[in-house]
Amino acid sequence: MHVTMVKKKTRDGIECRKCAQATEHLHTRGLWSRIDEIVWALEDDPTSPGMELGKRLGIDTAPFFIVRHGDEEKLYTSVIRLIRDELDLPVSDEEQAGQIDPDDIGGI
């Protein structure tokens, strides 16, 4: 399994809030080492690798995760779903509820 995390940097060079929260959550759960690759979507550069990946895959939110099992590729826009479905760890109802974010409307 290979896990790529696509994170966004804002125009001022700061990691987006949701990306920072997902990173912190992975660190807190001891799962950061399971992320094999980070690809950056730069808000002011539509040709940045993360922006290109998002465009190719039809994803306009960050962070998102690409999980490869051989030739099979799965996409996740939720760190909680990634943890539950791919990293085989239980996720509490509180964690699931915490993923609901009114700022989810919009794009990368």
pLDDT of residue 87: 85
pLDDT of residue 89: 63
Cα gap 55→46, rounded to integer Å: 9
CATH of domain 2-101: 3.40.30
What residue type is 7 in one-letter code? K
Parse the chain into domains and list their residue ranges.
2-101
Q: Which residues pair with 3 in a beta bridge?
A: 67
Cβ contact 1:7 at 8 Å: no
Q: What is the mean pLDDT of each run of 10 residues along the chain (108 residues)?
A: 97 95 94 96 96 95 96 94 83 52 52
pLDDT of residue 105: 47
**Cβ neighbours of residue 80 under 8 Å, at least 6 residues apart?**
25, 91, 95, 96, 98, 99
